[in-house]
């Protein structure tokens, strides 16, 4: 046997040596492997700097809402990723029904007419039954299990359920589902170390699905393998890929020879390892024809972006103080505001160029923060927004916007670009000085800065609602509302935690400890966007104190603050229930409170499938449905690009809230008449064709508020004139004007000021005792006698007669309960007057010198034969000649 000194053997080294994910070194040679060469190889490996595998990305848009990425790397790898915009028009989803199973992906695509399909769950060849959840077109045909997760879609929902959650009963919205495992990405973090399925640590062809954090983007991904062109991936590598593509959650589907993606117009885009598509159990399909509302746009976070007009809390948009609501929206060149003319809008808008795309306001943390309010107390609408450098405000001068005024230093650099902070920005008068203050949820909790009119004062801290306590979830921070809960003129705040609503009252310089409000808890389903997004803090009964209102599964309900730490019982509203379809976002998120009939109470309006419906509030309940324009699904109003624009404001200053919304062809408005809506009024041309369907534009529409024409005019130290003006600029109108309206007659009630004139009071009910103008009703046991309250005359109701002989004060009677004589109803004689002996003077007469005399109506005035004394000089001058003539005729007759 021969020996080979210092030589271990002859070795052919071929393959890839991976030192870290994406970093490879290739050996492909024959060598007599001696200790020298072993040492040389070790040194070489230690010194080699390994470069990441290079990649080339090619993007295409095969269909509206679909972007297809083809990535090639030098590993080598062939990756195909279809990025699906779930909120694009015409995009919807479909999974396989049981009677559609056992097909190739292309066969399934052709069967249902979809634009894209990938293979689905792992399955058994016997019967082609999947191993995880399977729901197709609303029908479940295989159950979930503890080892499986699933991708599921339905109306307004798109969700990846993790493997440990087992769903036995489908929620009503779940229409399509495909199972898979393992979970590869959770909360944006790759999940490593999966050993099930057993081939996870090996490189194979892979199919995987993922969702972005906001659930707007679905990622359908296939990776080729088992070929020289593409080696395949392990589950760990696949997890890294999905994080790189933008997935917040991701789940593995069946791979290997089943991996396939087919796109209409392109065919099978990848190279299946079997040489052609395999027949599989089920599939995931995407429709993308570019028309109609999206089928599964999940706004669980983005509701705070696309519907940010609700966060403006129906604040006034009256720019010039004429009492008419103006219409504002942000375009690429900045915010533009169109003045209302009462029957339309001006064609030349006011513009704030600092809110343009070029100025950085085309990002969600900026354009979604545009708010309107009155920061200087002049009664004109000002505009504020959070830029990357902090809050800026542009006050109205009445004819244009003035120079910017700095607000709180809520910069991107200090973390304020995060949605849990930026979206909570509110303008709210927490100290009652008539100036709107700046409030928002900071990292340490709620914080407010009082406005000084030209800047801000010292901060005021509120409840410590922080991320560690869960308040950084959208279904909590997205519910923060402000308003005057207790009617003291100071704006308080409420927000929803896991157990329900919590509120804190403002003292002007601080906030009270929180106390519990309505039990709109997670357990009651209020972590669902279809419920929490409907929470409002509004004064429904015009008593100066705001109520908390929301839509539950059974309908709308409101709660009044009862003082202390308590709320009163529920006030039931319209029954906009889940059972009648009101859980759909294109219906439930359109709930608006507005005074459409001008009675001061807030009515409730919303978009039903057939159009706008309103229910008028009478101070106690909602009823009297009023139908509005037919903004129905056939007209495209089920698309959030349109229905989120629905708002109410007073276009013509008649005290009635009018309706405006943006259609695909521009803004349309309808004036309210109280019990109907008038013809269509064409508003600003914010059309889809001119780009207004884009998120940074349609979502910035601001319109609303019933605006009193009064403005602040600092002309006095008090506000004692009933003129509808804030004469002392304290934020309240005519609060000292009660005295000027009082006519000092207690018998006709206390007069009041309505902001534009004095209103009569309500006469007191004196119970027949009589009333004195200077003091009011006679006390119990007395009655009005000869202009004074005297001790009442006792009587027996069965025997006594109480007539005092004065017909003018009414017929007296004996009150059976008090046992005294009382006057029942004084005669209403008007200008004719009354005689105590006979009562009201007859028509055509009036009291004069203690008698009823004929009215002086001209030469032909006559009496009415009533026996009244006719003592006017004109009557006597006519009567005497007539008597002489009658005597003469009588004497003449006797002579004959």
**Distance linking the first and last C-alpha atoms of the chain:** 192
CB 158 within 8 A of CB 298: yes
Which of the 8 DSSP states describes residue 712? Answer: B
Beta bridge partners of residue 682, listed in sequence order: 668
How much is the pLDDT for 674?
A: 97
pTM to 2 decimal places: 0.76
Closest CA to 595 of 308, 314, 323: 314
CB atoms closer than 10 angstroms to residue 99: 9
Q: How far is Cα 646 from Cα 604, in angstroms, rounded to an integer?
A: 13
Beta bridge partners of residue 140, listed in sequence order: 135
The CA distances from residue 714 to 230, 321, 399, 401, 738, in Å, are 79, 16, 20, 22, 19
- pLDDT higher at 723 or 639: 639
Q: How far is Cα 534 from Cα 557, in angstroms, rounded to an integer?
A: 11
How much is the pLDDT for 152?
A: 98
How much is the pLDDT for 701?
A: 98
How much is the pLDDT for 27?
A: 31
Name all contacts of 757-763 with Cβ < 8 Å and 24+ positions apart.
757/722, 758/722
Q: Residue 24 pLDDT more than 80?
A: no
Cβ contacts of 107 within 8 Å, gap of 6 or more? none
Where helices occur in 296-358 by DSSP H, the ranges are 303-306
Portion of the chain with pLDDT greater than 90, in percent: 73
How much is the pLDDT for 859?
A: 45
pLDDT band at 54 (very low <50, low <70, confident <90, very high): confident
Rg (CA), the chain: 40
Q: Is 895 exposed, middle or buried (0-12, 13-18, 19+ CB in 10 A)?
A: exposed
Q: How far is Cα 669 from Cα 679, in angstroms, rounded to an integer?
A: 8
The CA distances from residue 550 to 530, 545, 584, in Å, are 10, 17, 15
For 225-235, how does the pLDDT look when each residue is reduced to its tens digit (9 = 90+)? 999 999 999 99
Q: How far is Cα 110 from Cα 105, in angstroms, rounded to an integer?
A: 9
For 790-814, how does the pLDDT look when each residue is reduced to its tens digit (9 = 90+)? 887 788 777 777 777 778 877 777 8
CB 271 within 8 A of CB 224: yes
CB 356 within 8 A of CB 369: no
E strands, 45-115, in order:
55-63, 66-73, 77-85, 91-95
For 373-429, how does the pLDDT look when each residue is reduced to its tens digit (9 = 90+)? 999 999 999 999 999 999 999 999 999 999 999 999 999 999 999 999 999 999 999
Cβ contacts of 229 within 8 Å, gap of 6 or more? 76, 78, 271
Q: How far is Cα 61 from Cα 59, in angstroms, rounded to an integer?
A: 7
pLDDT band at 787 (very low <50, low <70, confident <90, very high): confident
Q: Residue 137 pLDDT more than 70?
A: yes
Strand order in the sheet with 536-538: 536-538, 547-551, 556-563, 566-572
Q: Residue 102 pLDDT more than 50?
A: yes
- pLDDT higher at 266 or 786: 266
Q: How far is Cα 266 from Cα 151, in angstroms, rounded to an integer?
A: 25
Q: Residue 868 pLDDT more than 50?
A: no
How much is the pLDDT for 838?
A: 87
Domains, the chain, ranges and CATH?
Answer: 55-288 (no CATH), 299-702 (2.130.10.10), 718-777 (no CATH)
How much is the pLDDT for 879?
A: 47
Closest CA to 874 of 858, 886, 850, 852: 858
How much is the pLDDT for 828?
A: 86
Positive or negative torsion for Cα 674, 679, 683, 685: positive
CB 386 within 8 A of CB 373: no
Q: Which residues of 61-73 are buried (b: 16+ CB within 10 A; e: fewer)?
A: ebbebbebbebbb
- pLDDT higher at 70 or 721: 70
The CA distances from residue 527 to 211, 530, 531, 532, 705, in Å, are 20, 9, 7, 6, 29
Cis peptide preceding 182, ω within 30 of 0: yes
Element (H, E) at 111: helix 105-112
Name which of 115-119, 223-227, 239-243, 759-763 the model is least confident about: 759-763
Query: Residue 161, by phi and psi: left (phi above 0), alpha (psi -120 to 50) or beta?
Result: beta
Q: Residue 580 pLDDT more than 70?
A: yes
Q: How far is Cα 177 from Cα 140, in angstroms, rounded to an integer?
A: 8
Where helices occur in 346-473 by DSSP H, the ranges are 364-367, 419-422
Report the 3 state secondary structure along 17-37.
EEEECCEEEEEEEEEEEEHHH
Q: How far is Cα 495 from Cα 477, in angstroms, rounded to an integer?
A: 7
How much is the pLDDT for 120?
A: 99
The structure tokens 């109907």 sit at: 676
For 593-619, how does the pLDDT look when each residue is reduced to its tens digit (9 = 90+)? 999 999 999 999 999 999 999 999 999
Mean of the per-residue pLDDT values of the chain: 89
For 810-859, how does the pLDDT look when each residue is reduced to its tens digit (9 = 90+)? 777 787 777 788 776 778 898 888 988 888 999 889 988 889 998 875 44
Closest CA to 742 of 768, 764, 773, 718: 773
Q: Residue 709 pLDDT more than 50?
A: no
Q: What is the DSSP string of 71-89?
A: EEETTTEEEEEEEEETTST
Q: Mean pLDDT, to the nearest integer, of 27-43?
A: 39
266 three-class SS: coil
For 230, list phi and psi in degrees, rounded to 5.
-155, 125
Which of the 8 DSSP states describes residue 792? Answer: P
Cβ contacts of 276 within 8 Å, gap of 6 or more? 268
Q: How far is Cα 489 from Cα 474, in angstroms, rounded to an integer?
A: 29
Q: Residue 886 pLDDT more than 60?
A: no
CB 810 within 8 A of CB 784: no
For 457-486, how does the pLDDT look when each residue is reduced to its tens digit (9 = 90+)? 999 999 999 999 999 999 999 999 999 999
For 498-526, how does the pLDDT look when each residue is reduced to its tens digit (9 = 90+)? 999 999 999 999 999 999 999 999 999 99
pLDDT band at 645 (very low <50, low <70, confident <90, very high): very high
For 673, list phi and psi in degrees, rounded to 5.
-105, 5
Which of the 8 DSSP states describes residue 188? Answer: T
Residue 749 in tokens: 């009630």
Q: How far is Cα 499 from Cα 522, in angstroms, rounded to an integer?
A: 6
pLDDT band at 7 (very low <50, low <70, confident <90, very high): very low
How much is the pLDDT for 780?
A: 86
CB atoms closer than 10 angstroms to residue 276: 12
Q: Mean pLDDT, to the nearest integer, of 769-774?
A: 88
CB 643 within 8 A of CB 660: no
Q: How far is Cα 668 from Cα 130, in angstroms, rounded to an integer?
A: 51
Q: Mean pLDDT, to the nearest integer, of 309-338?
A: 94
The structure tokens 């992906």 sit at: 105
């Amino acid at each position: 046997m021969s020996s080979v000194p210092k030589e271990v053997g002859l070795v052919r080294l071929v393959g890839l040596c991976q030192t870290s994910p994406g970093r490879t070194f290739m050996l492909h040679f024959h060598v007599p492997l001696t200790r020298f060469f072993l040492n040389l190889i070790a040194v070489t490996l230690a010194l080699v700097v390994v470069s990441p595998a290079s990649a080339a990305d090619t993007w295409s848009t095969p269909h509206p809402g679909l972007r297809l990425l083809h990535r090639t790397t030098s590993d080598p790898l062939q990756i195909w990723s279809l990025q699906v915009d779930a909120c694009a028009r015409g995009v919807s989803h479909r999974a396989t029904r049981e009677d559609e199973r056992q097909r190739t992906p292309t066969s399934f695509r052709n069967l249902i007419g979809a634009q894209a399909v990938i293979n689905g769950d792992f399955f058994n060849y016997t019967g082609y039954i999947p191993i995880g959840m399977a729901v197709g077109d609303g029908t479940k045909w295989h159950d979930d299990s503890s080892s499986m997760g699933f991708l599921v879609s339905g109306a307004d929902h798109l969700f990846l359920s993790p493997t440990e959650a087992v769903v036995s009963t489908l929620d009503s919205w779940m229409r399509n589902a495909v199972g898979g495992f393992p979970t590869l990405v959770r909360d944006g973090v790759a999940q490593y170390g999966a050993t099930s399925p057993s081939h996870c640590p090996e490189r194979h062809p892979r199919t995987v699905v993922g969702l972005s954090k906001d659930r707007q983007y679905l990622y359908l991904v296939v990776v080729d393998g088992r070929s020289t062109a593409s080696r395949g991936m392990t589950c760990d590598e696949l997890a890294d890929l999905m994080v790189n593509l933008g997935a917040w959650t991701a789940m593995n589907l069946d791979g290997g020879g089943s991996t396939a993606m087919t796109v209409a117009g392109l065919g099978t885009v990848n190279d299946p390892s079997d040489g052609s598509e395999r027949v599989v159990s089920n599939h995931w399909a995407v429709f993308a024809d570019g028309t109609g509302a999206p089928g599964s746009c999940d706004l669980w976070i983005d509701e705070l972006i696309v519907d940010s007009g609700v966060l403006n809390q129906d604040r006034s948009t009256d720019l010039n103080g004429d009492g008419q609501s103006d219409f504002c929206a942000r375009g690429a060149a900045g915010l533009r505001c169109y003045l209302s003319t009462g029957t339309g809008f001006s064609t030349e808008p006011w513009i704030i160029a600092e809110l343009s795309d070029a100025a950085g306001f085309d990002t969600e943390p900026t354009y979604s923060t545009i708010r309107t309010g009155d920061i200087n107390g002049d009664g004109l609408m000002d505009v504020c927004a959070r830029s990357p450098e902090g809050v800026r405000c542009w006050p109205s001068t009445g004819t244009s916007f003035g120079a910017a005024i700095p607000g709180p230093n809520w910069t991107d650099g200090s973390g304020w670009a995060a949605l849990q902070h930026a979206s909570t920005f509110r303008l709210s008068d927490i100290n009652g000085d008539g100036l709107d203050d700046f409030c928002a949820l900071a990292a340490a909790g709620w914080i407010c800065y009082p406005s000084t009119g030209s800047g801000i004062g010292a901060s005021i801290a509120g409840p410590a609602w922080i991320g560690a306590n869960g308040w950084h979830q959208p279904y909590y921070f997205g519910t923060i509302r402000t308003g005057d809960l207790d009617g003291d003129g100071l704006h308080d705040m409420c927000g929803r935690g896991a157990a329900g609503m919590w509120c804190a009252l403002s003292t002007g310089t601080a906030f009270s400890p929180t106390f519990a409000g309505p039990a709109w808890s997670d357990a009651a389903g209020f972590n669902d966007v279809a419920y929490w997004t409907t929470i409002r803090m509004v004064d429904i009964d015009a008593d100066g104190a705001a109520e908390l209102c929301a839509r539950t599964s059974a309908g709308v309900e409101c709660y009044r603050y009862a003082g202390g730490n308590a709320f009163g019982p529920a006030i039931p509203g319209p029954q906009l229930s889940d059972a009648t379809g009101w859980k759909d976002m294109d219906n439930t998120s359109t709930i608006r409170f507005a005074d459409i009939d001008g009675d001061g109470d807030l009515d409730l309006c919303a978009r039903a499938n057939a159009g706008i419906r309103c229910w008028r509030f009478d101070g106690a309940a909602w009823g009297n449905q009023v139908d509005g324009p037919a903004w129905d699904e056939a007209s495209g109003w089920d698309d959030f690009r349109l229905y989120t624009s629905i708002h109410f404001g007073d276009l013509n200053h008649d005290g009635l809230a009018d309706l405006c919304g943006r259609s695909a062809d521009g803004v349309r408005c309808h004036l309210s008449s109280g019990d109907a809506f008038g013809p269509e009024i064409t508003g600003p041309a914010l059309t889809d064709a001119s780009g207004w369907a884009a998120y940074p534009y349609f979502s910035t529409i601001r319109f609303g508020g019933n605006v009193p024409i009064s403005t602040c005019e600092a002309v006095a130290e008090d506000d004692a004139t009933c003129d509808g003006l804030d004469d002392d600029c304290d934020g309240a109108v005519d609060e000292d004007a009660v005295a000027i309206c009082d006519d000092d007659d207690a018998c006709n009630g206390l007069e009041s000021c309505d902001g534009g004139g004095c209103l009569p009071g309500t006469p007191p009910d004196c119970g027949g005792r009589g009333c004195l103008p200077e003091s009011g009703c006679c006390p119990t046991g007395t009655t009005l006698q000869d202009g004074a309250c005297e001790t009442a005359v006792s009587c027996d109701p069965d025997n006594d007669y109480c007539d005092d002989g004065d017909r003018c004060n009414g017929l007296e009677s004996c009150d059976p309960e008090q046992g005294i004589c009382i006057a029942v109803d004084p005669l209403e004689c008007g200008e004719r007057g009354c005689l105590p002996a006979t009562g009201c003077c007859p028509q055509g007469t009036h009291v004069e010198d203690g008698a009823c005399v004929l009215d002086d109506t001209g030469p032909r005035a006559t009496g009415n034969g009533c026996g009244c004394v006719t003592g006017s000089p004109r009557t006597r001058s006519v009567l005497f000649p007539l008597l002489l003539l009658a005597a003469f005729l009588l004497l003449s007759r006797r002579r004959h």
